[in-house]
Amino acid sequence: MATISVIDYGMGNIHSVAKALQKVSDRKDKIYITSSIKEIKESSHIVFPGQGAAKSCMSNIRDNFDLNELRDVFEAKYFLGICMGLQVLMTESDEGNGEKCLNIFTGKARYLGDFQNTKLNLPHMGWNNISLKKNHHIFSNIKDKSFFYFVHSYFVDPINESEILSTTNYGCTFTSGVSRDNFVALQFHPEKSSSDGLKVLKNFITWDIS
């Protein structure tokens, strides 16, 4: 049985994520939308969704949580970051005048338009495929080059290439997923990505690295 905390810090499509998790979960699984650090500590799995700008996202996180305590909890649980929930794991973001982030993964969130060889509309919005760079339970029964739904203008650029889980091309090739130990985080939205997105969420719930 999994106890899943969908973190509510005032931003993100938390209800659609929770609804998708409920659709794929076992009846014994418990899913909470919560901003309570006590409930988050008691969960087995954490989902950290997000959307919008890095500065306002980090401001909301600081307003709701002690950052050191939050990092410690993240390190102890199965963790899934979605969209901005991926970008804020980086050391910093180039968005605006720059923003310090959670520094769980070493690297930056960068503006996609600065790296495109072919200039395409931003935000990158709609369906695109992913290239899998390593095996991971999160992508069990999902084929390479499968399509998922994206909405973003920034992408993560991790220093450690071994942490890159998947890449996607939109005028340039960018990192669309990272993983390390108990962490997995995705630029796309599995909750909006039809059957393959639901498989990703189901795989997350059943992930066991013990």
User: Any idea which residues carry the catalytic annotation?
Assistant: 83, 189, 191
How far apart are alpha carbons 159 and 189 in whole angstroms? 23
Query: The dihedral of CA 71, 105, 114, 120: what is its sign?
Result: negative
How far apart are alpha carbons 59 and 44 in whole angstroms? 26
Beta bridge partners of 122: none
Q: Is 15 helix (H, G, I), strand (E, B) or coil?
A: helix
Q: Do 109 and 157 contact (CB within 8 A), yes or no?
A: yes
At 209, give phi and psi (nearest 5°). -110, 15
Q: Mind spelling out the 3-state secondary structure of 21-35?
A: HHHHCCCCCEEEEEC
What pairing do the DSSP bridges indicate for beta strands 147-152 and 124-129? antiparallel
Q: Residue 122 is encoded by which pair of tokens?
A: 């931003």
DSSP codes joined into one string, 126-169 = EEEE-EE-S--GGGTT--TT-EEEEEESEEEEES-GGGEEEEEE
